[in-house]
């Protein structure tokens, strides 16, 4: 039976993987929360891998507080670079495949066409720089590493844009939301499902497993702005909150945000035969899972 170790199991993607695990009885999962496995502890990781020897490690542990990272660069580096390095080295010794999540923030270049994995990177924040450095460390230490760059991740739990809008939409009659940041949201459950489908296929197909190595983009299809995303949330839930579009410079943040982060998904779709949902479909499903039965 294929053994899968999931770190950061209380995060959005980690929790979605846990919910979906029962659909894959041929895969054996071990989900570890931060209190059980601090990925900055190299000795703990080495001991765990020596005992478990997993076939796959899905790393959902990360420092994701984008603005706070500006004042905590050492901690962000310890988790996003050093911790990833420890996991990658342990995977290499165990003969395991590492699957690691990265961010659209690593691109932050000036183009306005969908970003391909081969396009230039130019991270502009502590968070983005540590994510890119973590990618490089993982690929160097463990050639059998799959990097998934994703964007605007949300789920029915944790801290994310959808949950924030739902809370504020019930507390306030109107909101101001940025309209000049362009990208595509990603429902964590769809990403988790796609990943498990790929792993399942890789367990029986050496060619699929060989294609796991490298960098892949994944987000929902379509394109939107944070303003239009907020509008869709209130439209689907029928919350009577008025949304006003504002520019990025009217809402300054400690960490710079990329103005354009629409990801090109052609590589991952071609490699693994994926059909990726439109972002409105993902949002509808998420809201329905949260209890908004009329979402549509």
Residues serving a catalytic function are: 127
Cα end-to-end distance, the chain, whole Å? 39
What's the rounded Cα separation, in Å, for the pair 177 and 229? Answer: 9
Bridge partner list, 97: 56
172: left (phi over 0), alpha (psi -120 to 50) or beta: beta
Structure-token pair, residue 210: 């060989």
The Cα–Cα gap between 243 and 228 comes to 9
CA angle at residue 185 from 181 to 186, to 5 degrees? 150
Whether the CB-CB separation of 148 and 100 falls below 8 Å is answered with: yes
Q: Which of 76, 77, 54, 50 is nearest to 65 (CA)?
A: 76
């Amino acid at each position: 039976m294929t053994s899968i170790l999931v770190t950061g199991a209380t995060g959005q993607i980690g929790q979605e993987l846990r919910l979906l695990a029962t659909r894959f009885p041929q895969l054996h999962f071990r989900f570890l929360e931060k209190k059980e496995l601090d990925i900055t502890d190299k000795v703990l990781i080495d001991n765990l891998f020596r005992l478990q020897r997993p076939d796959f490690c899905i790393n959902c542990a990360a420092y994701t507080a984008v603005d706070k990272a500006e004042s905590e660069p050492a901690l962000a580096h310890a988790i996003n670079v050093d911790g990833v390095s420890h996991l990658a080295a342990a995977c290499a010794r165990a003969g395991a495949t590492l699957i690691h999540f990265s961010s659209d923030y690593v691109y932050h270049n000036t183009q306005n066409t969908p970003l391909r994995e081969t396009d230039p990177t130019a991270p502009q924040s502590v968070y983005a720089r540590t994510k890119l450095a973590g990618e490089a460390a993982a690929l160097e230490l463990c050639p059998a590493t799959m990097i998934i760059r994703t964007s605007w991740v949300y789920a029915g739990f944790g801290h994310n844009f959808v949950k924030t809008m739902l809370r504020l939409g019930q507390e306030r009659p109107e909101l101001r939301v940025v309209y000049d940041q362009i990208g595509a949201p990603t429902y964590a459950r769809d990403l988790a499902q796609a990943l498990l489908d790929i792993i399942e296929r890789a367990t029986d197909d050496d060619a699929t497993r060989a294609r796991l190595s490298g960098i892949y983009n994944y987000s929902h299809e379509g394109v939107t702005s944070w303003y239009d995303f907020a509008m869709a949330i209130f439209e689907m839930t029928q919350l009577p909150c008025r949304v006003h579009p504002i520019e990025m410079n009217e809402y300054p943040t400690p960490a710079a945000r990329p103005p354009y982060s629409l990801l090109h998904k052609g590589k991952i779709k071609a490699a693994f035969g994926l059909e990726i949902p439109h972002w409105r479909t993902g949002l509808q499903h998420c809201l329905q899972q949260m209890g908004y039965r009329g979402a549509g």
